[in-house]
Amino acid sequence: MKILVTGASGYLGSHFIKTFQDQHSFETFSLQKNSIESINFDAVSTIIHSAGLVHQKIEQSYQHYYDVNVKYSVNLAKRAKEQGVGHFIFISTIAVYGETCSPIEEDSPTLPVSPYGKSKLEAEGQLLALQSNDFIISIIRPPMIYGDKAPGNIASLIKIIQKIPLLPFGGINNRRSFVYIGNLVALINRVVELRAKGIFLSADDYPISTSTLMQLLSKALNKNLWLIKIPLFPTLLKRIKPKIYSRLYDDLAIDNRETIKRLNFYSPYTVEEGIELTIKIKQKLS
């Protein structure tokens, strides 16, 4: 099977190619370096579209997200359909559900609040409108991805735990879902194998609390960590840094039993194994 991967040099695309290089042949495409017209679609049966504009430290306008995540994605899909490609996999995001729905299921209401989430949802709708008997559309919505060199909040937590042994995050009993990169690429490959259409949620087998996450990270780092509760600290953090508070204290749990059932899929890594591998590979490479 020949697969075209966009964003092949990015975190997700590069991991997929590395993991399944002996199972598939690949064409790669850079959104920044190449034009859609230059793509060689010969013998390509599937496209994994992982390229896109993600959350930016300095927030961009919706139009900027639209141009990359919607316009570019839809033009690529139209071109692929014209060239006889039969399967288009779009890597979306859990952000299409917004920040207040938990647990999240495949058919939960979509209420995105960020320009990033809104652009991904708009792209999903336009892509699904292109679907036909000869052109399958698959949408995969992952939460925060973690693993070696993964960007995001977990990487930030690792740096904090390495430097500070005493943190005011004890007793947080929220439920948040994450996905280890090995579990995500395995689910994508299952969608490829089955040519499964529709919307799928990717997540580790169960959500964990922020306090548990920090404890697992410290254990994998072989670092002593003491988590304490400070009265009024959560209230103060919510007032001063509401976004940070939400990521640390609010629920964002995924219930993807329907995805697992439809794909007959089993995550190859537990949460504990994913975190241990994240730290082990990171330390090996550093």
Confidence of residue 129 (pLDDT cuts 50, 70, 90): very high
Q: Which residues contact 128 (CB under 8 A, 6 or more apart)?
A: 137, 139
What integer pLDDT is reported at residue 199 of this predicted model? 97
pLDDT above 70: residue 141: yes
What integer pLDDT is reported at residue 286 of this predicted model? 55
> Could you give the angle at the alpha carbon of 54 between the alpha carbons of 17 and 269, nearest 5°?
45
Q: Which residues contact 112 (CB under 8 A, 6 or more apart)?
A: 95, 96, 97, 98, 118, 120, 121
Structure tokens given for 128: 């699904």
pLDDT above 70: residue 228: yes
Kindly report whether the global pTM for this prediction surpasses the value 0.85. yes
What integer pLDDT is reported at residue 222 of this predicted model? 93
Average pLDDT over residues 220-225: 94
Average pLDDT over residues 125-131: 97
Within 10 Å of residue 201's Cβ, how many Cβ atoms? 25
pLDDT above 80: residue 194: yes
What integer pLDDT is reported at residue 61 of this predicted model? 85
- Which has more confidence, 87 or 113? 87
pLDDT above 90: residue 96: yes
User: Do 87 and 138 contact (CB within 8 A), yes or no?
Assistant: yes
Average pLDDT over residues 164-174: 94
- Which has more confidence, 270 or 59? 270
Nearest to 86 by CA among 138, 123, 39, 17: 138
What integer pLDDT is reported at residue 16 of this predicted model? 97
Span 68-80, pLDDT tens digits:
999 999 999 999 9
Pick the CATH number of 2-150+177-205+253-268 from 3.40.50.300, 3.30.413.10, 3.40.50.720, 3.40.710.10: 3.40.50.720
Q: How do the domains of the chain map onto residue ranges?
A: 2-150+177-205+253-268
Average pLDDT over residues 147-169: 89
Confidence of residue 285 (pLDDT cuts 50, 70, 90): low
Span 17-63, pLDDT tens digits:
999 999 999 998 887 777 888 888 999 999 999 998 886 666 778 89
Backbone angles phi, psi at 177, to 5 degrees: -100, 140
pLDDT above 80: residue 114: yes
Q: Which residues contact 189 (CB under 8 A, 6 or more apart)?
A: 16, 19, 20, 23
- Percent of the chain predicted with pLDDT > 70: 96
Q: Which residue has the tokens 């040099």?
A: 9
